[in-house]
Amino acid sequence: MISDAVKIAIDGLIKPFEGYARRLPDGSCNAYPDPGTGGDPWTIGYGSTGAWIGPDTVWTREQAESALADHVAYFVSGVLRLSPVLATAADRRVAALISFCYNCGLGNYRISTLKKRVDAEDWDGAATEIVKWNKAAGRVLPGLTRRRQAEAAFLV
């Protein structure tokens, strides 16, 4: 059931890896620069980005939770549209791909070998492909490596 996959994605992958970064004493949060570039795209809450987010952006916890829910809904819809086979896949597999797309984007997923493996229901091959997406600005980031390994474990 897709709602179970969403809960697994949010609680098991997205929140732990995105974190609620730059928490302020009152519980709100402020934006921080992308770890790969040191600047754009500025990020806030649970990994939200956009042209309207900059170094002075501050959100309440409620704004961060609302943005997370909206973004996850967008990525659920997109990943199911791009890979209809996921409509009947195990919740953990759908969760892994929601998390991946939340982090890397639907455009990257659409053109990836990962998508080809998913569409063929080659879950071992998908797990092998997903761990390759551990770089930002050409540099391997330990946090991305851990996230991709966790997503890969959900795929097999």
Q: Are 93 and 23 in contact (CB under 8 A)?
A: no
Interaxial angle between packed helices 91-104 and 123-130, expressed in degrees from 0 to 180 and rounded to the nearest 10:
30
Closest of 102, 85, 96 to residue 127, by C-alpha: 96
With tokens 């540099």, the residue in question is 139
Catalytic entry in 18, 62, 65, 151: 18
The verdict on whether 121 is a catalytic residue reads: no
Active-site residue set:
18
